[in-house]
């Protein structure tokens, strides 16, 4: 029942945005949308923001949307609104991103959802977390709570959309969709889905080489030990073996170690180190990547 109500809320909100939002159409296939739920922008500011967002969309080929939300919504509801609204506006699996700025005034939760190729320019892996870096830049415009500079945040977001697009896709970056259980990676300008990781981790390759060398060393040692054992004498040799006892006179014998003692000291040895964490690709769920955080 709760899931049904939440989905109904998302559908109603998306429909409301479709009716009240302004659509900017250009020759570019990419579009930009801006929804000011609480009227935080002046008419001139909204026009400037819409123009700048469309410019970013045209320069990157990414669909771009921003929602200035003022109503009290749970984190999961905000995430659902972003995914559902984006799909309604631009279509499923299209390339782009949507930014929800939480302006309710307390415990705000901002969220960026990425779709299609947008997942590869606006990354969210431990090795490359551009979503986190974007929030780090955008938060400067959103303090203090209740007096956020929504205009500055929208304009800065448009700048970041272009900046990270121009930065390009990180080398060997991929995402894992935990809903569809496939790995996605770009290939010749399109997304390719595979059941196995598309790129091999260099550290795993190095570990394989080391393991192979170690196994080869053990095999060589065993072979050496076997050959040595095969050709060794059956009995230990003694110096007296080659001495004629009848012709030997023992004048005097000394045991220099009779009254000496030896001691052994056990030296503790320790070895340790910190293994580096393995950082895989980004995460995706049902075709959407991205992430959110509380301010």
Query: What are the pLDDT digits (tens) for 99-143?
Result: 999 999 999 999 999 999 999 999 999 999 999 999 999 999 999
CB distance 84 to 10 below 8 Å: yes
pLDDT higher for 113 or 286?
A: 113
Give residue 4's pLDDT.
57
Sheet arrangement for strand 182-187 = 190-194, 182-187, 175-177, 282-284
Give residue 199's pLDDT.
73
Give residue 29's pLDDT.
85
Distances (CA, A) of 252 to 85, 92, 242, 249, 255: 105, 102, 21, 9, 10
Give residue 195's pLDDT.
87
Give residue 26's pLDDT.
35
Rounded Cα distance between 176 and 184, Å, is 6
Is pLDDT at 61 greater than 50 in this prediction?
yes
Q: What are phi and psi of 36, to 5 degrees?
A: -105, 90
Model confidence band, residue 267 (pLDDT cutoffs 50, 70, 90): very low
The average pLDDT across 278-287 equals 77
Is pLDDT at 229 greater than 70 in this prediction?
no
Rounded Cα distance between 168 and 156, Å, is 19
CB atoms within 10 A of CB 27: 5
The average pLDDT across 270-291 equals 65
Residues 145-198: tens digit of each pLDDT: 989 999 999 999 999 999 999 999 999 999 999 999 999 999 988 889 998 998
Q: How far is CA 164 from the centre of its chain?
A: 16
pLDDT higher for 232 or 46?
A: 46
H or E element at residue 150: helix 150-167
Average per-residue pLDDT in the chain? 78
Is pLDDT at 74 greater than 80 in this prediction?
yes
Question: If you ran DSSP here, which 8-state letter would residue 114 be given?
Answer: E
CB distance 175 to 183 below 8 Å: yes
Give residue 181's pLDDT.
92
**Domains, the chain, ranges and CATH?**
2-198+281-294 (3.10.310.50)
- Say how many Å lie between the first and final Cα of the chain, rounded: 31
| Percent of the chain whose pLDDT exceeds 70 | 63
């Amino acid at each position: 029942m709760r899931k049904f109500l939440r989905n109904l809320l998302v559908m109603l909100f998306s429909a409301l945005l479709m009716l009240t939002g302004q659509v900017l159409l250009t020759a570019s296939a990419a579009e930009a949308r801006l929804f000011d739920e609480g009227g935080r922008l002046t008419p001139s500011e909204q026009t400037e923001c819409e123009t700048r967002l469309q410019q970013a969309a045209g320069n990157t080929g990414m669909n771009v949307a921003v929602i200035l939300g003022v109503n009290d919504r749970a984190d999961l509801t905000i995430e659902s609104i972003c995914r559902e609204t984006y799909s309604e506006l631009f279509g499923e699996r299209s390339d782009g991103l949507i930014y929800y700025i939480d302006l309710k005034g307390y415990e705000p939760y901002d969220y960026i959802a990425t779709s299609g190729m947008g997942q590869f320019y606006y990354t969210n892996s431990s090795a490359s977390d551009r979503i986190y870096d974007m929030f780090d830049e955008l938060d400067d415009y959103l303090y203090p709570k209740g007096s956020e500079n929504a205009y500055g945040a929208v304009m800065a977001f448009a700048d970041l959309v272009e900046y990270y697009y121009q930065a390009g896709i990180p080398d060997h970056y991929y995402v894992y969709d935990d809903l569809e259980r496939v790995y996605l990676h770009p290939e010749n300008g399109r997304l390719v889905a595979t059941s196995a990781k598309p790129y091999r981790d260099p550290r795993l390759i190095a570990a394989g080489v080391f393991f192979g060398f170690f196994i080869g060393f053990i095999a060589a040692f065993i072979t050496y030990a076997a050959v040595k054992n095969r050709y060794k004498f059956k009995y230990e040799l003694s110096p007296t073996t080659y001495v004629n006892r009848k012709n030997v006179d023992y004048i005097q014998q000394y045991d220099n170690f009779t009254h000496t003692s030896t001691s052994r000291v056990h030296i503790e040895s320790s070895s340790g180190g910190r293994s580096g964490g393995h950082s895989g690709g980004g995460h995706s769920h049902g075709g959407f990547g991205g992430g959110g955080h509380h301010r």
